[in-house]
Amino acid sequence: MPGESLTVDHVAVDYGTLRVLQDVSLDVAPGEFIALLGASGCGKTTLLRAISGFVKVASGRILLSGQDITSAPPDKRQMAMVFQSYALWPHMTAAQNIGYGLKLRKVPRAEISRRVDEMLALLGLEGFGERSVTKLSGGQRQRVALGRALAIGPRILLLDEPLSNLDARIRQSVRHEIKALQAQLGITAIHVTHDREEAMVMADRIAILDAGNVAQLGSPEEVYNRPVSPFVAAFMGADNEIRLRVERRNGEIHIPASDHNDAAVLLDGESANGDGVHVVGPGCGDVVAHFRGEAATLIAAGERPPGGLVLRGRVRQMSYPGGIYRYAVDVGDRRFMVDDPRRIEVGESVGISLPAAALHLYPAELGRHEVAEE
């Protein structure tokens, strides 16, 4: 089941008068696992359906190993899809469901039996072939759906949020199983999900979609550590933001003191080895700094740690979810949630300490859905 390359070349898709995919381009290498990640309505499922042939392309091309399949019907694309709802026949056994696609293709009965047995063994379902799918657990049913897709020997495997119906514990184990199986078979896979952690764990590269466009395409490390826009930063968890005035010079980011922050001199990410500020754009003048809540620590009002940025605020709320205290800290008109093992009284003045590497700076005039040049 060798992997095939896939090219999405400037594809646009319309639903009536509404353009839902703008001008999407994507190159998938043979055997690569790509996740299409985004919120509901961003266009990720539409892109998957365009690749599979279930949605008509308004403009652009789709190529499978260099062959133009833009106008080919779904059954001629040699792709298989695993659906969110499993889409299994309830009156059939696990083996019958796995072999159903082969039966439709008029594959000889002996070959169907051999292929089904192979899939049952591959998916750890030996002994379950004659069991009705209604008697299987959610994880087992998802494996049957995966086996049915793989049994036909597809050139591309398409996964449409296949884990969203599973509970959290089973979902974690099944996603590792799917990734391991995909790597073992060397098949090219495209996976639609709205779950950031799922995409990070499973994919070789992640395409983050926003309003019908690819906002960023890169490895999990790239999109997490170097988001190219405020939207990507927020979507990848760096949704805390505060406005600052900065100056970039000589490999450093200089931040003057204000009512809400101490003066700071931080290493520029372009000049540092993983310890500097990630700056998008010129890095001068008014910027918006994004950071993840888990990167923040609380310090006493008079404490001044070196090498990071300190925001000054006041504790407004406190809760105890277990193991740590969770504080709502007001910094000017902004409120940030910060965890700390110590008990701090409501009303107390505190500092929020942020290491340089936790900060992502974007031009203040850059909108959430715009991308600046790094």
Q: What is the pLDDT along the chain (374 residues), one digit of tens a residue?
A: 567 999 999 999 999 999 999 999 999 999 999 999 999 899 999 999 999 999 999 999 999 999 999 999 998 999 998 887 778 899 999 999 999 989 989 999 999 999 999 889 988 899 999 999 999 988 888 889 889 989 988 999 999 988 887 777 778 888 888 898 899 889 999 999 999 999 999 999 999 999 999 999 999 999 999 999 999 999 999 999 999 999 999 999 999 999 999 999 999 988 767 789 999 998 889 999 999 999 999 999 888 888 899 999 999 999 999 999 999 999 999 999 999 999 999 999 999 999 999 999 999 987 655 655 44
Contacts of residues 115-120 at CB distance under 8 Å and 24 or more positions apart, as own/partner, are: 115/151, 116/147, 116/151, 119/147, 119/150, 119/151, 120/94, 120/95, 120/147
Nearest by Cα to 84 from 144, 171, 142: 142
Query: Which token pair is 228?
Result: 């190219």
Per-residue confidence (pLDDT) for residue 30, from 0 to 100: 96
Residues 6+ apart with CB under 8 A from 24: 8, 10, 11, 12, 43, 47, 60, 212, 213, 214
Query: Which spans in 186-247 are helix H?
Result: 196-202, 220-225, 230-235
DSSP, collapsed to helix, strand or coil, labels residue 94 as helix
Return d(Cα 275, Cα 267) in angstroms, integer. 7
Residues 6+ apart with CB under 8 A from 55: 13, 46, 49
Per-residue confidence (pLDDT) for residue 302, from 0 to 100: 83
pTM above 0.75, yes or no: yes
Query: Which token pair is 97?
Result: 């469901």
Per-residue confidence (pLDDT) for residue 103, from 0 to 100: 92
Nearest by Cα to 2 from 204, 187, 178, 156: 187
Radius of gyration of the chain (CA): 25
Contact 294, 337 (CB under 8 A): no
Per-residue confidence (pLDDT) for residue 142, from 0 to 100: 85
Per-residue confidence (pLDDT) for residue 270, from 0 to 100: 81
Which DSSP helix (H) or strand (E) runs through 257? none
